[in-house]
Amino acid sequence: MRDMAAVLLCGCLSTPAVCADSVVRVWLDSVRDVRTMESLSDDMWSHGIHGGSADYLVTPEQREALGRTNLKWCVFIEDVESLVRAEHDRLSRPPEEGGVADDAWFSDFKNLAAIEARLEALVALRPDRASLFTVGTSIEGRAIRGIRISALPVGTAAPAVVLNGTQHAREWGATMTCMYMADRLVETADSDPVVAQILARTEVLVIPVVNVDGYVFTWADTANRLWRKNRRDNGDGTFGVDPNRNWGFQWGGAGASTNPASETYRGTDAFSEPETQAMRTFFEARPNIVSNIDFHSYSQLVLSPWAYTTDASEDGDVFQSIGSDMSSAITQSGGLNYIVGPVGTTLYLASGGSVDWVYGSRAALAWTTEVRDTGNYGFVMPPSEILPCARENFAATLVFLDRTTRAAAIVPQVAPTTIVAGTPTTITAKIRPSLSGSVSARVLRWRVGSGAWNTVVMSSLGNNLFSAALPAFPCGTSVSWHILAVGTPVDAVWPSNGMEQPFQSVAASEVVLTSVDFESAPGWAFGIAGDTATGGVWTRGDPVGTSAQAEDDHSPAPGTQCAFTGQGVVGGGAGAADVDGGATTLQSPSLGTMTAAMELRFWYWYSNNLGASPNQDEMPVQVLGSGGVWTTIATISSSQTAWREMRLPLSGVVPIGSPVAVRFLAQDLGAGSLVEAAVDDVQLVGVGCLFAPADFDNSGAVDGSDLAVLLSQWGSSGNADLNSDGTVGGPDLTLLLASWG
Ligand code: 0X9
Ligand code: ZN
């Protein structure tokens, strides 16, 4: 599994004859690897996904020492100093200031004085919406400033959110992103209806630079550009406490250093630093703060509690749901890919961070966003990236602002898929009341077509879980629904884009035609002629799990078996029995004959270095298409280390009347060579309406006898009430005639 492809890909020199500090990406497959690396460099720039890789700043000597280890690594930034020097030369030229009302200010990074001037300019532009405040004073005596943006007068009881940045001095991308949040909120306070609506009911408190001394220090001299901590004189010749290890929730736990020289030095005590003390006092003085984003760079992550432990937080589902919506907003705005998850399991353990204190001690919903990039430039990002980075994060911030400041956060428990015709559909959701709001009713609202809305009160299942059922609908009925938590300061609704865009689906019948649970699998091929894999070939059995492979199959007990790549031994390493050297194919026999509407469903597990990048391996899922050619209908590429279902419609791919067969190609081709896959419970399902909804007698056609049924129910209720409005009448006749014949 240790291939050298990744090393070559990002330009590694195996015999470095370098005289500059560089940033290396190191693949860390075990705790031992982590220890080896930590003994070499204390300055971790970024961490890949848990179990993957991490970036470190290394001196030429450290880089040579790295070459003597058996770690797999590559160079991401060959010469950090020259990047810093180039940045400094650029910034020494007179800046393009731009007026308040344009984006020119974001054409390059700005020092603290320019940031404060900009905050003042924003207030001058909209004194009716913006005002300045001071959080407190840094250890060197600088004011930590912020800007309050709201349409409500100071002192109004309303939910507040905090957007803060630059706890770490060198993370200039986060500073500019935070500034852009303030800028957009002020400048589009009236023109953007979403912003106007949010400002009408909330206070947004933006603190772009928490670590003011550190920030000023990084601007003072190119030699200081990569300073991270605050400027505490530790009294032993070293400087600086890591502010994001100094907050007082689980302070002193994992992932924080007791060594004053370390980049993650936690300080002498919880809240030993004036900067974190000031932030604590600020949060404590404002019980109306309901949520927070702490901006950092880099890695493109939307992170939530916990950071001090890998245990899930009580609101893990709320964090995941809102975080995913934030990440989707980023991509939908044309932005890059941001990975979502708790700090502890996505990144690394880090105690004493703000995200844990804000959630753990203040009970407000808290995120840490790591903005661009993913390591090509790291902290020394080209200025052309500032606006794209800021814009994508503004899209996420709008989602965050909307979803965390309503009466409740609503999270559907089972991702709703289709509505099965002829049977009620239970909808369950977590409805978590907001800190500063209250919920008076929770309802499921539904309607057929554009008919009137119906309301069903949801019943409590305990633990903020509520459920209600949609009634049974005839096949083909188009149903819209949403969940509404009625309350203050404003109702919450799911889907979160509001009542204008409810969840929509068409009631469909489902018939499972074939089901394979791999307790037996007649006719399946585990590896086929032409496969190139040299190890980890598909097999069937009860898998021995690792961090990269399932431990249990998916089928309910007594099922134990599934299809998976390479059986390992108990206690074996993650990469010991994975796919190596090429592709291995799991191929089905014919599962049935294609009809008008069919779906292939299966459950899968997949890992390829758990997100380490670069990662080039993918698992194509193919079916026999026209002319009997294997056709890719899905490509599984992101790691999925828990069973997950995939449903793939086959219409338009498999010709009607042809056999349906599927195959899964697990392959180790590119970089990121730890590849494991498993598949279970493959089903061929007939979906859609076998008969038109108005074919009351199931004769196969809507005709005179169906019209007679409708007329016999005219004015009353019955199965001829096609639009489910309670009465059989004109609209139902129209629907019937529309499917005549
Ligand atoms: O380690 C950190 O503080 C953050 N990463 S960074 O590279 N910007 O330094 C991650 C913060 C995660 N959140 C907490 N630990 N609270
Ligand atoms: Zn940071």
Among protein residues, the one with the nearest Cα to ligand 1's atom 4 is 296
Residues 638 and 584 in one domain: yes
Residue 307 Cβ < 6 Å to ligand 1? yes
Residues 242 and 349 in one domain: yes
- 218, 370, 372, best to mutate for ligand 1 pocket (most atoms within 8 Å of CB): 370
Residues 493 and 551 in one domain: no
Residues 479 and 568 in one domain: no
Catalytic annotation, pick one of 171, 275, 370, 599 = 370
Q: Do the beta carbons of residue 643 and residue 563 sit within 8 Å?
A: no
- 347, 374, 379, 381, best to mutate for ligand 1 pocket (most atoms within 8 Å of CB): 347
Q: Give a yes or no: residue 409 inside a domain.
A: no
* Cα 244 to averaged position of ligand 1 atoms, centre (Å): 7
Starting from the CA of residue 266, give the closest ligand: 1
- What pLDDT sits at residue 425? 92
Sheet holding 662-667, edge to edge: 525-526, 583-587, 662-667, 619-624, 630-636
Q: Do the beta carbons of residue 43 and residue 56 sit within 8 Å?
A: yes
Q: Give a yes or no: residue 319 inside a domain.
A: yes
CATH number for the domain including 734? Answer: 1.10.1330.10
Phi–psi pair at 324, nearest 5 degrees = -65, -40
- What pLDDT sits at residue 386? 98
- What pLDDT sits at residue 598? 86
Residue 244 Cβ < 6 Å to ligand 1? yes
- What pLDDT sits at residue 9? 39
- 57, 296, 365, best to mutate for ligand 1 pocket (most atoms within 8 Å of CB): 296
Q: Give a yes or no: residue 83 inside a domain.
A: no
* Cα 368 to averaged position of ligand 2 atoms, centre (Å): 9
Residue 46 Cβ < 6 Å to ligand 1? yes
Residues 188 and 325 in one domain: yes
Residue 351 Cβ < 6 Å to ligand 1? no
Starting from the CA of residue 256, give the closest ligand: 1
- 27 in helix, strand or coil? strand
Residue 355 Cβ < 6 Å to ligand 1? yes
Residues 187 and 264 in one domain: yes
CATH number for the domain including 117? Answer: 3.40.630.10
Domain final residue, candidates 507, 529, 561: 507
300: domain range?
A: 89-404
d(CA 741, CA 728): 20
Residue 694 CB neighbour total at 10 angstroms = 25
- What pLDDT sits at residue 19? 74
* Cα 112 to averaged position of ligand 1 atoms, centre (Å): 22
Residue 343 Cβ < 6 Å to ligand 1? yes
- Catalytic site residue 370? yes
* Cα 216 to averaged position of ligand 1 atoms, centre (Å): 20
d(CA 473, CA 655): 30
Among protein residues, the one with the nearest Cα to ligand 1's atom 16 is 353
CATH number for the domain including 49? Answer: 3.30.70.340
CATH number for the domain including 443? Answer: 2.60.40.10
pTM of the model as a whole: 0.77
Starting from the CA of residue 358, give the closest ligand: 1
- What pLDDT sits at residue 675? 86
Residue 353 Cβ < 6 Å to ligand 1? yes
Q: Give a yes or no: residue 365 inside a domain.
A: yes
Q: Give a yes or no: residue 620 inside a domain.
A: yes
- 166, 168, 374, best to mutate for ligand 1 pocket (most atoms within 8 Å of CB): 168
* Cα 171 to averaged position of ligand 2 atoms, centre (Å): 6
Q: Give a yes or no: residue 410 inside a domain.
A: no
Residue 546 Cβ < 6 Å to ligand 1? no
Among protein residues, the one with the nearest Cα to ligand 1's atom 7 is 46
Residues 478 and 614 in one domain: no
Starting from the CA of residue 245, give the closest ligand: 1
The DSSP symbol for 579 reads B
What is the number of the ligand 1 atom nearest to the C-alpha of 354?
16
d(CA 123, CA 647): 52
CATH number for the domain including 549? Answer: 2.60.120.200
Starting from the CA of residue 347, give the closest ligand: 1
Domain final residue, candidates 340, 369, 404: 404
d(CA 372, CA 738): 53
Residues 259 and 155 in one domain: yes
Residues 545 and 599 in one domain: yes
Q: Give a yes or no: residue 536 inside a domain.
A: yes
Could you write out the DSSP letters of every residue in 56-93? EEE-HHHHHHHHHSS-EEEEEES-HHHHHHHHHHHHHS
- What pLDDT sits at residue 14? 43
* Cα 292 to averaged position of ligand 1 atoms, centre (Å): 15
What residues of the chain score a pLDDT lower than 50? 1-16, 50-51, 610-614
Could you write out the DSSP letters of every residue in 126-180? -TTTEEEEEEEE-TTS-EEEEEEE-SSPTT----EEEEEE-SSTT-HHHHHHHHH
What is the number of the ligand 1 atom nearest to the C-alpha of 296?
8
Could you write out the DSSP letters of every residue in 292-346? EEEEEESS-EEEES-SS-SSPPTTHHHHHHHHHHHHHHHHHTT----EEEEHHHH
Give pLDDT tens digits for 335-390.
Answer: 999 999 999 888 889 999 999 999 999 999 999 999 999 999 999 999 999 999 99
- What pLDDT sits at residue 10? 46
| Count of the separate structural domains present in the chain | 5
Q: Do the beta carbons of residue 568 and residue 574 sit within 8 Å?
A: no
- What pLDDT sits at residue 646? 95
d(CA 486, CA 407): 7
What is the number of the ligand 1 atom nearest to the C-alpha of 297?
8
Residues 547 and 574 in one domain: yes
Residues 206 and 345 in one domain: yes
Domain final residue, candidates 507, 530, 561: 507
Q: Give a yes or no: residue 642 inside a domain.
A: yes
Residue 356 Cβ < 6 Å to ligand 1? yes
- What pLDDT sits at residue 615? 58
Residue 303 Cβ < 6 Å to ligand 1? yes
Phi–psi pair at 374, nearest 5 degrees = -115, 20
Residue 168 Cβ < 6 Å to ligand 1? yes
* Cα 169 to averaged position of ligand 1 atoms, centre (Å): 12
Residue 304 Cβ < 6 Å to ligand 1? no
Residues 333 and 386 in one domain: yes
